[in-house]
Structure 1
Amino acid sequence: MSLSYAWEKFHTAVLTLAGDGNIKERLSNAFIFSIDHIKASEDIPEDLREQFESLCDNLTRIDPVGNEGKVQATVSQIDSFELSKTAEDIVSFYDTICRRLALEDGYL
């Protein structure tokens, strides 16, 4: 397991969420270029996997049409409240990882 790898990817995702572009673009990019590279069975502690998988499922639940991917299909069809909630979920999961790493390193 490499929680530090998950931290790195979520850190990048959070930075992407805070960057330029509309919320749909930022959310799509945060998932596609960062979170999607995490392997739950290798990088996420067992007690956090269900939460992680739920977050991933939430962003890939709508089947794509044409050349779009599942993430683009999903974010294009959910409302602004759910887009914001999903961004908050990413930041919250990043916080959980940070706290877990701090505990493991004896800082908390």
Structure 2
Amino acid sequence: MQYSYGWEKFHSAVLTLAGPGSQAQRLSDAFVFSLSHIRPEENLPEQLRADFGVLMLALIQKQAVADEGNAQATIFAMDEFEIHQSISKIIGLYDSLCREMPKDY
């Protein structure tokens, strides 16, 4: 399956978002452990790549301080609305990717 790795990483991200912890921590974990491993050119259909790129850039806007990464610096500076928007985008991209997967996957 051409996009199975991307699907697996998005699936893992959504499960992380539904898990325990603060929304900011769950979003950070979804980025670090799942989404950051996706190579859009190889792992996503062409029609999802631009939206994925916009999401990823939005999650790394701030410079890292000390031992945190740019994603952690960005996410922990977001307000509740921005975090909710990012989570909604991840779920929407996952939904779109699921529609691209074969029915028996």
Matches for 1:82-101 after TM superposition, within 5 Å: 82-101=82-101
- 2:5 matches 1:5: yes
> What root-mean-square deviation, in Å, do the aligned CA atoms of Structure 1 and Structure 2 show?
1.5
Tell me how far 1:61 sits from its aligned partner.
1.2
Aligned partner letter, 2:99: R
Note closer, same or farther for the CA distance 1:25–1:41 as it changes in structure 2 (3 Å cut): same
Corresponding residue for residue 37 of structure 1:
37
Unaligned runs of 5+ in 2: none
Distance 1:80 1:5 in 2: 30
Alignment TM-score, normalising by the size of structure 1: 0.90
Count of matched residue positions in the alignment of Structure 1 and Structure 2:
104
Per-residue CA deviations over 1:55-92 (Å, capped at 9, x if unaligned) read 11111111111111011100111110000110111111
CA contact under 8 A between 2:14 and 2:90: conserved in structure 1? yes
Q: Which runs of 4+ in 1 moved over 6 A?
A: none
Hey, what's the Cα distance between the residues in 2 that align with 1:22 and 1:2?
34
Structure 1, unaligned runs of 5 or more: none
**2:6–2:43 CA contact under 8 A, matched in 1:** yes
Give the structure with the higher percent helix.
Answer: 1
Alpha-carbon distance between aligned partners in 2 of 1:90 and 1:83, rounded to the nearest angstrom: 11
Query: Identity rate of aligned residues, in percent?
Result: 45
> What is the CA deviation profile of residues 3-40 of structure 1, one whole-angstrom value per residue up to 9, with x for unaligned ones?
11111000000000000000111000001000111001
Which runs of structure 2 are paired with 1:8-87 in the superposition (5 Å)? 8-87=8-87
Structure 2 distance, partners of 1:47, 1:81, is 26
